[in-house]
Amino acid sequence: MKLLLKILLFTILVPGTVAVYIPILITHGKSISTHPESTTVGILLLGIGVFIYIWTVWDFAIIGKGTPLTIDAPKQLVARGLYRYTRNPMYTGVILVILGWAGVFTDKWLLVYAMGVGIAVHLFVVLYEEPKLEELFGKEYIAYRRSVGRWAPRNRGI
């Protein structure tokens, strides 16, 4: 129960702020797009992004016995589920949610915001998170990093 509360608090404070609260501020006063294609794609991206986030948080809690918060990181390296294909699916899910809002509201500023979030996340991953994970999990993380792409799946000769 304590783990669930920590994950819920993290979700509200971090991804909730980045992917919900700030996009609401950016689109304040705008109405939903009048272009059904844009709205449909937006809703689809929102749904996929939320699904990815929930799946990855579940794996962090069940497999890793921890939270997405770096100071309360999983106790075991999570390399299953979506983490078998890319090292950062949770961030991808959050960015898809922002892109979904951009489609729902046809708001170019949300596209700019999504790009800014993507750059910030990339820098955070490269400069802090990857060195921290290597420190926490050592050779296991180094081997994982060699075999799984940071943002896109690697061709495994399938």
Domain ranges of the chain: 2-147
Q: How far is CA 13 from CA 44, 110, 137, in A?
A: 24, 19, 26
Residues facing 149 on adjacent strands:
86
| Average pLDDT over the chain, rounded to an integer | 91
Position 56 scores a pLDDT of: 94
Burial 119-134 (b: 16+ CB within 10 A, else e): eebeeebeeebbeebe
For 47-88, give the secondary structure using H, E and C: HHHHHHHHHHHHHHHHCCCCCCCHHHCCCCCCCCHHHHCECC
How does DSSP assign the chain, residue by residue? -HHHHHHHHHHHHTHHIIIIIHHHHHTTTPPPPS-HHHHHHHHHHHHHHHHHHHHHHHHHHHTTSS-SSGGG--SS---SGGGGTBS-HHHHHHHHHHHHHHHHHT-HHHHHHHHHHHHHHHHHIIIIIHHHHHHHHTHHHHHHHHHSBSSSPPP---
Position 91 scores a pLDDT of: 96
Domain 2-147 architecture: Up-down Bundle (1.20)
Per-residue pLDDT of the chain (158 residues; tens, 9 = 90+): 787 888 888 888 899 999 999 999 999 888 888 889 999 999 999 999 999 999 999 998 888 888 887 777 788 999 999 999 999 999 999 999 999 999 999 999 999 999 999 999 999 999 999 999 999 999 999 999 999 999 998 876 54
- How do residues 55-96 score in pLDDT, each as one tens digit? 999 998 888 888 887 777 788 999 999 999 999 999 999 999
Position 61 scores a pLDDT of: 87
Amino acid identity for residue 127 in this structure: L
